[in-house]
Amino acid sequence: MFWKLPFGLVLLVLLLVGGSYLLPDDYHVERTAVVPAAPVALSATTSDLHSWPEWTAWSTAADPEGAWEFEGAPRTVGHRMVWEGEVHGQGEPEFTSLTAVATARDGMAVDHGAYHSTGGFDLVAVEDGTEVAWSCGGESGMNPVGRWMTQFLDAMVGPDFVAGLEAPTAMWASAAGPAAGPAASTERG
């Protein structure tokens, strides 16, 4: 009778690991909002990592003991932020491509490089301002725990994107003038 418990646990682990390989290994999280501001003003904010602790869900208000460090010039490929805190853990977004106004793409490493994703912002002028699409995506590879985690990322990260997109309109609209970024699309590895 006692042998049933260990056998049951082993069977459960095997089912969870085996079942993970039936799940998709990729994920995509995206939220959109129309913001009453010009694309150029929003681009100045979304492509400057120094401003992210002010308006994203990973903010100084939510994690007052957190630490943020920045490398590279804002609005340029290679601009990088490293944060670490009790609430948000650790992350490292770095811009890998930018256009003058329309898009900013970043690569993200989380938990000291254990997890990687790509993401960014797409800005499209609409009648009432700018439609902002904030997205991230990636692959979990062969890691069974990662495959299970990707099933919950939309529910975990989506609300954080919504919180950032609902940043006070005044902050978005008062963003700096034309982005001082490259005139054409640039890419980095």
Instruction: Give the Cα separation of 113 and 94 in Å (integer).
Output: 13
Instruction: Give the Cα separation of 95 and 75 in Å (integer).
Output: 8
For the full predicted model, state whether its pTM sits above 0.85.
no
Taken in order of first residue, the domains within the chain and their CATH numbers are 25-187 (3.30.530.20)
Judged against a pLDDT cut of 90, whether residue 72 lies above it is answered with: yes
Pick the more confident residue, 157 or 169.
Answer: 157
User: For residue range 4-20, what is the model confidence (pLDDT) as tens digits?
Assistant: 778 788 888 788 777 77
Judged against a pLDDT cut of 60, whether residue 162 lies above it is answered with: yes
Instruction: For residue 136, give the 3-state DSSP assignment.
Output: strand
Q: pLDDT band at 30, cuts 50/70/90?
A: very high
